[in-house]
Structures are given as C-alpha cells and as structure tokens.
Structure 1
Amino acid sequence: MTQPEYDPGPQIAHAASIDLGTPDLERSIRFFRDLLGMEVVDQVGGVAYLRAYQEFAHHSLVLTQQDEARVNSYGFRVKRKQDVELFHKRFQEQGVQAVELPAGHELGRGEAVRFLVPGSDHPFEFFHDIDKPLAEESIRSKVLSNSSRRRGLGVRRLDHINLQTSAGTVNEAEAWLQDSLGFKRREFARLPDAPDIILASWLSVTPQVHDVAIGVAAEEKTGQFHHVAFNVENFHDILTAADEIRDLDIAYGAGPGKHGIGQAMYLYVHDPGSGHRIELYSGGYLIFDPTWEALEWKLPELAYGQTWYGDVLDVGPGGSFLPTSPSAGLLP
C-alpha cells in the first residue's frame, strides 16, 4: 500500500538577518566592517548590506540611515520556497495582518511576507530565496567554508536575536512563537513575584539553545529590541574583543562573562553609530534530543542562569534592566 507523502508544513530554517536603523550610517559601517570584520557586500544610497566571514547569503545585517535608532525588521529564512506563501496563508487564517514584499525589497533577497508577532509587535519577515555572491577576490579565503578571510574581531555569523515585550503580553507572544511558528522552548524562567508570567524564554528551531529569546521589558512596552548576537569562534576571541574595544570610544554594556543559560561566553557592546546593543557570543551547547524538556530556572539559581561569572545581569523585578531600542511597525 502506497503511503501518502509526508508534508511537515511550513518551517523556519534559522534566524537570518536584522535591519538596524542608524542615525550615523558611516560610523555604524566602520564598527561592523572595520572592528567586527564584516564584509560590506553592497551599499545603495543610505542602505548597506553586510555579512560575516562564514556566511554565504547576500547579507545578515542591513544598516539603514534614518533619524531614529530603531529595528526595521527581523528576518528569518524558511526551509522551502513555498513556505513563504504557506506561512502567509496561515497568518490570514489566524487573522494576523501581513503584507507581501516583492523580490528585491531587500537587495539580493527574494519575495517575503512581513507581519507583527501577536503579543509583542515585533516586525518579522519570512523569506527563502537569497543570492549568494562571491566576495571580492582581494578578501576571498582559501578555506572553502569561509565566504571571505577572517578580518577584525572575526564575527562568523548571526547567532540569535533577543526581544522584549510587556509583562501583560509576553505569555501570548511566547506561546504564539511556539504554536504558530514552531519554535521549541529550551530554557525559561518565570517572574518570581508573578509566577504565571514568563520572565524570559529561550527558543529555537535549530539545535542551538536559542535562535530567539523573548522576555519582559523594563516598561510596559511592546516591540522592544534587546540585542542581536554575532558568533565568534572561541572564548579567547571574546577576551581579545574586550581588550581591544576598551581602547576605543565604544560603550560596553556588560561582560565579558558567561551565561549559565546556554553556557556561552558573552560581551555586550554598543554600535557607536546607533546605540543598538550587540552581543559577541561564543560557546554554548547544542540540543539533539527530540524529547528535550524545557529547563526552568528558579530562585536562587536564576542568578547563575543569567551570569555564571562576569557582570551580574539582574533582569528580575526591580533589577537592572538594560536599555532597549524600539522596533518599526507593520509597514516597512
């Protein structure tokens, strides 16, 4: 008897890109290109497209010249071309407003669908097709798995994004990311004084502990951006970055240190052109267990989850919430 072909439905492949609005485009380009070592693949007017040295896709970072330092979009690549339309159909059935974006809306990228995450109002864009241009010959690597030579501090790829929303909406948003988009909860914590509310949740569609994290904002605001993380090869690279950045006019956020949650080493710095928080991130563990049960961090161990060693990241009620940036709305 012939079995019908199994179709898992639309799926996300990975967190793929972010569009950061910056009031000082040239200063932001110098930060990401000259210090972090990213390649400027193209620049059209006030928009620059960059990628890290182990990324083959056209870009993972868009820098857009604009008056307000906000995040214009969070891009996710889906596994199949038809998944863009299938996700769009799902959103329509759920009553989630979405807009179609034509190919080339972002240079080098195919058609996409844009929507706001219910409960958090973060502007996500789903796409599949993207160009894979060769780097200029002067920076090409002999290592076939590198799109270009390692330069600067050597960020390898976009690792994850960290979002925040209001305490009144975080549960809705976190549940929707799981139920409608297929993210799996890996580690999480609840507000100690309000245990029915998620303090933060680390979710992924890959073996990483998180491709996306979402948590409670300091104020009752939706659509808040905490940071985007770029992966570097090892712990020593984090310490080298801390040493070099201390000599420059670049603001530290926190670190270097190590998270208990995810078990990666971190250093938070700020893009001097925009003020957006950037995490340099290395290490961590991978999850291959298909029956993984989410790990809940409770007091008093929660402090170790945030910071195993290094600067204390007290994000509980009354704690030192780190400043966030706003996100754009539905219309790009």
Structure 2
Amino acid sequence: MLPVRNDNPAFTITRASHVVMSVTDLAKSRDFYRDVVGLVVTEETDNTVYLRGLEEAAHHSLVLEEAPEAKAVAIGLRVRTDDDITAAEKHFADAGIPFQRLERDHQGPTLRFRDPVGTMMELTSSMDVVERKYQSFNEFRAGFPQRIDHYQVATYDVQTATDFWSGLGMRLSEYTTTQDSDDELWGAWLEVKGNTHDLVFANGRGPRLHHFAYAVPDGSCLLHAADVAGALGAGNEIDRGPGRHGLSNALFLYLRDPDQHRVELFNCHYQFIDLEVPPIKWDITDPRRAQLWGMPASKRWFFEASEFPGEEVHEPLLKTTPETLESYLGLH
C-alpha cells in the first residue's frame, strides 16, 4: 500500500550526500573513479581517497577505504543543521533504533544507523568546503559528473523501507506495483530535494546497495564516458546502457568499478516539487518502466549488488523472475 508522508518529521533531510565504499586496491579504484567516471580527487591518505563531483563544494561525495573485502560501508544523507542531528538522536532513541555518533574526517556531526531493512546509513549536517570545479573546463574528464544524486538499494521488504523513510519526510514520486492494486510495492522512488529520487528501494535479495548515481550535464556525456571506458580498457565494465528509463525519464549509463561496485551516470529526470502532484504508478509487467528503448538489462544488473558489512542478506518477500537480456535472447 502507498505510504503516508510525514509532513512534520523529527528532523530535516535535505539530499543524498555521500557514499562510503571499501575497496581492495585503493590505487586502482581511485584511477577508475577519476579517469573513467570523471570525479575530482579532493584528498588522499594511505588508506582512504576522497572524491567529489565537479560542481560540489562539499569535501567529498565518495569515500574509498582500502579493506580486505569490498563492501558498501554506508550511504549518506545530509540534514539541515547540527540541531537536526540532535533531533535525530532523540528520535532514534525514542523509537528504539540503535545509532552511533561518529567522528568522520571532514564531516560535521555524524550519526550512523541501520534502517528497519538493514540499510547502513549515515546522517551528517555539514562538510568542509572546497573549491567548485564546475567552470574548470580544462579539468573535465570522462562523463563530467556534476554531483551525487541518489542511491538504489535492493531490499527484501520494499513496503517496510518505504513506510520508514516516508515517516522521516521523504515523498513518493514513482512506484511499481500490480496493475489493479497498490497492495504490493515492488519498487519505491523517494525524494526530498524536488526531483524524482534521493533513495530508491527495489525488490530483491537485500539489503544490498545496487548503485549510487551522479548527475551529468547532458546525454552526450554518457557517450563520452562509454568511449573513455573503452579507450582505457574498461569497456567490459559497462554494465548497462546507454539507455533511457521509463521511471524518472533518465538517460543512463551504469559502470562497474574494479571491485564490481556499480555507479550510474545519468541525466534528464524532472522536477517533483508541487505537493498536489500524485506519484506515477508503473505496472510491474510493463517493460517500459526500466527501459523505454533497447533491450533488457543483463542478469548481473538485476541480481548483483554490494553487500553492507555485518548485515545478513534476506530473500525478497515478493517473488518474480525479471526478463533479462539472456532470457530475451533465448540464452541460458
């Protein structure tokens, strides 16, 4: 069933902020995100690399931490002020949700917690400010990524995840369900910043991070990123696209990094600001929701994702067999 949005949440979430990924070869991953994706390296230490998009004034939107295993350490959201961090602590304590106050380099007050479906989250209220690169055209690389925009999480229980985040003020912009009923949510696109999504939950084995996404200036950037990937020997790591989703109307290109974490470059989603506008409903059987043109995604796009550390992965409550590229072509 569709969630009821809380218009007066205990604290104010403003946008997708940063993602922390553990990688097994720090230099190789740094080179991938700098040279193939096009991110700016803000700072490097012996075991950590901080990167950001070209127009970002925040110190980082991607943190790479070297570790023995590749994991999605946490995905981050910004809240408006330090007072919102304090309010979040009280809210989680009252709700019985365990949380931890962290000291994170280059971030203001930061909380880490797991949502009810096990997604590892960070909230922070501020970051060190650095120079925007959005007019340093001589430094643009690959896909020209401007800013981090959203995350998609595979979850075993879309309804529970959607209800929780709607209770914290997120608004449903689009969703997938069965044709005649809203009783089963298969996917939910949730936003706080006025476009189609900051946080997406899709039915699948989870919790696992399916992808994190950067906005690019236009569709030609996706083609250039694909060409750069091919030129640098990473053409096989193009996971999907270029193409256009029905959901969100976005042009997209998905890439896999050296540890097989998935990053999306995309363009063209629309404003979703006016409160009287209802969410768009997509029938789960309509292939246009995922791909307006072109062939379906491969099995690995549907079934592979990055696990969160220390969190058991559960089978989804809703069972389905998506059409994949392999099934479309009659392959096994």
- The TM-score bracket by the shorter chain reads 0.7 to 0.9
Number of matched pairs = 302
Aligned to 1:238: 222
Contact 2:82 2:109 in 1 (8 A): no
Name the residue aligned to 1:260. 246
Residue 63 of structure 1 corresponds to: 64
Whole-angstrom distance in 2 between the partners of 1:246 and 1:313: 19
Query: Equivalent residue of 1:321, what SS?
Result: helix
How high is the TM-score relative to the length of structure 2? 0.84
Letter in 2 for 1:112: T
Say if 2:291 is the partner of 1:307: yes
Aligned to 1:130: 127
Of residues 205, 212, 219, the one that matches 1:228 is 212
Shift of 1:165: 1.2
Preserved contact between residue 228 and residue 278 of structure 1 (Cα < 8 Å): yes
Contact 1:123–1:329 (CA under 8 A) maintained in structure 2: no
Question: Matched residues in 1 for 2:233 and 2:305: separation?
Answer: 20
SS at match of 1:196: coil
Task: Give the whole-Å Cα distance in 1 for the aligned partners of 2:224 and 2:66.
Answer: 30
| 2-structure distance, mates of 1:253, 1:314 | 8
TM superposition shift of 1:329: 4.2
2:308 paired residue number: 327
Q: Provide the rounded CA distance (Å) in 1 between the counterparts of 2:158 and 2:123.
A: 21
2:169 corresponding residue in structure 1: 182
Matched, 1:121 2:108: no
Structure 2 equivalent of residue 171 of structure 1 = 159
Q: Distance in 1 between matches of 2:290 and 2:172?
A: 17
Q: Structure 1 residue 58: deviation in Å?
A: 0.6
Q: Percent of aligned positions with the same letter in both sequences? A: 28
Asked if 1 retains the 8 angstrom alpha-carbon contact of 2:142 and 2:224, the reply is no
Instruction: Find the aligned partners of 1:288 and 1:182 in 2 and give their Cα distance.
Output: 13
Change (3 A) 1:95 1:176: same
Q: Identify which of 248, 257, 282 aligns with 2:267.
A: 282
User: Per the alignment, do residues 170 and 9 of structure 1 end up closer, same or farther by CA in structure 2, a change over 3 Å counting?
Assistant: closer
Query: Any runs of at least 4 consecutive aligned residues in structure 1 with deviations exceeding 6 A, and if so which?
Result: 192-195
Matched residue SS, 1:198 = coil
Tell me, yes or no, if structure 1 residue 198 matches structure 2 residue 198. no
Cα deviations by residue, 1:135-184 (Å, 9 ceiling, x for unpaired): 7xxxx66x4xx799433331111111100111xx32111110111x2110
Unaligned runs of 5+ in 2: 1-7, 312-332
Cα shift at 1:113: 1.0
Q: How many Å apart are 1:322 and its aligned residue? A: 3.5
Q: TM-score scaled to structure 1, two decimals?
A: 0.84
Tell me by how many angstroms 1:240 deviates: 1.9
Q: Distance in 1 between matches of 2:275 and 2:176?
A: 21
What code does the residue aligned with 1:271 have? Answer: D
1:62: how far off? Answer: 0.1
Structure 1 or 2: more helix by fraction: 2
Asked if 2 retains the 8 angstrom alpha-carbon contact of 1:53 and 1:147, the reply is no
Q: CA deviation at 1:295?
A: 1.4
Measure, in 1, the Cα distance between the counterparts of 2:110 and 2:226: 37
1:158 matched to 2:156: no
Output the amino acid matched with 1:259.
H
Helix, strand or coil: the match of 2:43?
strand
